[in-house]
Amino acid sequence: MKDSKLFLWRLISNTIPSKEVLVDRLRGDDVICEVCGAELEIAFHVFKECQGIRMLAFASRWGCKIDQWKVNSVKEMVEFCVEPRANHCFIGMDKELITVFLATLFYASWNFRNELRFQGAGAIRKAVLKLQKSFQEKWSVPAQGWWKLNTDAAYSDGKAGLAFVARDSNGEIKFLTSKSIKRDSPYEAKLQAMKWASACAEDKGWNFLE
């Protein structure tokens, strides 16, 4: 947690070496997000809007959907982390746990970004496991021998990011994936995420699901 708190200070003081910062200070020209490849890699994108951090948050045992977290800047994110308020995105967490969760999530997402850049495929699962081991989480487990599926969808300007995760009765992640598609509405995107998860489960022969 000490490293996570220090990371918050670095985040608010704009010393995290995102590509925006590096381009500004070193006059480079590569500004595309290392994780999603779709946006300018500024701090707010990396720690709030990027598909990478959304997947990490969603893969936590709360299934947190930070795309629904109403903050508009890095300053607002850190202020909320330090002085959290009741929020529907963090159901089941008290204020202390919200602070720990967000600080750990930011730190884990930056490590994930760096590991993805330098080590390539496989970084997301490693990052999720690290995040889960960082602190004690609460979760409503499925029955013994069953798996639980959770789906998520984020929508913006005709594009949707879909994700789903499968966990066993011990809370261990058995499957985690995401993809981007074109859709006409947030409602259609959410339905497509559920349809995709169901089709994948059927295709893989997962019979004992909640």
Q: 29-60 pLDDT, tens per residue?
A: 777 888 888 778 888 998 988 888 888 888 77
Are 68 and 45 within one domain? Answer: yes
Measured CA to CA, the distance from residue 208 to residue 129 in angstroms comes to: 23
Are 108 and 148 within one domain? Answer: no
For position 31, what pLDDT does the model report?
A: 79
Are 58 and 153 within one domain? Answer: no
For position 195, what pLDDT does the model report?
A: 83
When pLDDT is cut at 50, 70 and 90, the band that residue 169 belongs to is confident
117 pLDDT higher than 80:
no
Measured CA to CA, the distance from residue 166 to residue 148 in angstroms comes to: 6
Which of 121, 139, 157 delimits the end of a domain? 139
Task: Look up the domain containing 59 and give its range.
Answer: 1-139
Percent of the chain with pLDDT over 90: 1
Percent of the chain with pLDDT over 70: 83
79 pLDDT higher than 80:
yes
Burial class (CB in 10 A: 0-12, 13-18, 19+), 126: middle
Which of 139, 156, 187 delimits the end of a domain? 139
Mean pLDDT of 120-145: 63
Are 196 and 122 within one domain? Answer: no
Are 23 and 103 within one domain? Answer: yes
Measured CA to CA, the distance from residue 162 to residue 154 in angstroms comes to: 7
Report the first-to-last Cα separation within the chain, whole angstroms.
33
Q: Which helix (H) or strand (E) is 95 found in, with range?
A: helix 95-119
When pLDDT is cut at 50, 70 and 90, the band that residue 114 belongs to is confident
For position 55, what pLDDT does the model report?
A: 83
Are 16 and 119 within one domain? Answer: yes
State the CATH number of the domain containing residue 170: 3.30.420.10
When pLDDT is cut at 50, 70 and 90, the band that residue 128 belongs to is low
pTM over 0.75: no
Are 84 and 163 within one domain? Answer: no
Q: Point out the least confidently predicted range of 22-26, 72-76, 110-114, 164-168.
A: 22-26
Which of 139, 155, 190 delimits the end of a domain? 139
Q: How many domains does the chain have?
A: 2
For position 136, what pLDDT does the model report?
A: 46
